[in-house]
Amino acid sequence: MFESQPPFYSMYVCTLSEQSEESVHTDNTYQSFSNFNSISMKQYAVIYGVCGLYEGYSDTTCEFFPSLDDALKHVKQHMNLMSEDKRMVHPERDGDEGVSYYLTDDHEDYAVCKADGDDMEDWLSDNDATCEVLRIHEIDVSRYEGSGTTEHMWLTWDQQDSCVAWDYNPLCMSLVARVSSDVMDNTSGDSHVNCMNSLEQLNEFISSVYYRNEAFIDIDDYTMHAFRIPKKLKES
């Protein structure tokens, strides 16, 4: 449903060691970020929320920072706070694009399931546990440079797959047009009641795009957050 997306610059740690602007220690692996600092007109989004459609999936948040160092500091503060939560299982890498951790009251059962190679999706459902993700995503905001447009760019987030939904950052009108088209395509064969519900959600989404800093739509298997990318950020 959603287009493929470029790799995330992601990290997931229990506590972050002191780091320079060029590297960060993540699960005993040093990831170089020196390429970030050589590019101008960049922002760094820190996306935080539960994975998939578990409880709290509509509460995914996104904060924007003017530099990678600021984003890393924010993540460090968050993970230092999370390290005090006794429910947190040691975080681990999630493929090449991200990292994730689990919150559970039964660490022993989690360890057994991981060792046995069980389906963690089933384990989450059966144990009232939660999987959360915290990711840093680089954004090119050069489109704002010298532009007189009153519209903003948006970052889209596919909640089901816990990844950026689209490989570009649309302006307000483009975002509304594409989501409207997607909704119409997905509801073309639905009943009158379902169509009305979809239209209500679409209207709410469109209103949020023009009057709020974030928008959310949840129709069957189409579940997406959109976050307004600011034109200017205060330097730390």
Q: What percent of the chain has pLDDT over 90?
A: 37
Report the pLDDT value the prediction gives residue 9, as an integer from 0 to 100.
Answer: 39
Q: Give the integer Cα–Cα distance in Å for 10 and 8.
A: 5
Q: Give the integer Cα–Cα distance in Å for 161 and 172.
A: 23
Distances (CA, A) of 31 to 48, 92, 134: 20, 15, 16
**Which whole number is the average pLDDT over 39-55?**
85
Lowest mean pLDDT among 111-120, 132-141, 176-185: 111-120
| Model confidence pLDDT, tens digit, residues 211-233 | 999 999 999 889 999 999 999 88
Report the pLDDT value the prediction gives residue 113, as an integer from 0 to 100.
Answer: 73
Report the pLDDT value the prediction gives residue 22, as an integer from 0 to 100.
Answer: 34
Q: Point out which residues pair with 156 in neighbouring strands.
A: 226
Pick from 119, 107, 132: nearest CA to 10: 132
Lowest mean pLDDT among 70-84, 86-100, 169-183: 86-100
Q: Indicate if the alpha-carbon torsion angle 177, 182, 187, 188 is positive or negative.
A: positive
Q: Give the integer Cα–Cα distance in Å for 154 and 158.
A: 13
Domain boundaries along the sequence of the chain:
9-229
Residue 16: pLDDT band (50, 70, 90) is very low
* 152 neighbors 228 (Cβ within 8 angstroms): yes
Report the pLDDT value the prediction gives residue 102, as an integer from 0 to 100.
Answer: 82
* 120 neighbors 51 (Cβ within 8 angstroms): no
Report the pLDDT value the prediction gives residue 78, as an integer from 0 to 100.
Answer: 86
* Residue 1 vs residue 231, higher pLDDT: 231
Query: Is the confidence at residue 71, as pLDDT, over 60?
Result: yes
**Which whole number is the average pLDDT over 67-93?**
83
φ, ψ of residue 210 to 5 degrees: the values are -95, -15
Report the pLDDT value the prediction gives residue 124, as an integer from 0 to 100.
Answer: 78
Query: Is the confidence at residue 21, as pLDDT, over 50?
Result: no
Q: Indicate if the alpha-carbon torsion angle 107, 109, 113, 116 is positive or negative.
A: positive
Q: Indicate if the alpha-carbon torsion angle 227, 232, 235, 236 is positive or negative.
A: negative
Q: What is the 3-state secondary structure (H, E, C) of the chain?
A: CCCCCCCCEECCCCCCCCCCCCEEEECCEEEECHHHHCCCCEEEEEEEEECCCCCCHHHCEEEEECCHHHHHHHHHHHHHHHCCCCCECCCEEECCCEEEEEECCCHHHHHHHHHHCCCHHHHHHHCCCEEEEEEEEEEECHHHCCCCCCCCEEEEEECCCCEECCCCCCEHHHHHHHHHHHHHHHHCCCCHHHHHHHHHHHHHHHHHHHHCCEEEEEECCEEEEEEEECCCCCCC
Report the pLDDT value the prediction gives residue 20, as an integer from 0 to 100.
Answer: 32
Residue 101: pLDDT band (50, 70, 90) is confident
| Model confidence pLDDT, tens digit, residues 156-202 | 999 999 999 999 999 999 999 999 999 988 776 666 667 888 899 99
Average model confidence (pLDDT) for the chain? 77
Report the pLDDT value the prediction gives residue 157, as an integer from 0 to 100.
Answer: 97
Report the pLDDT value the prediction gives residue 192, as an integer from 0 to 100.
Answer: 65
Report the pLDDT value the prediction gives residue 118, as an integer from 0 to 100.
Answer: 63
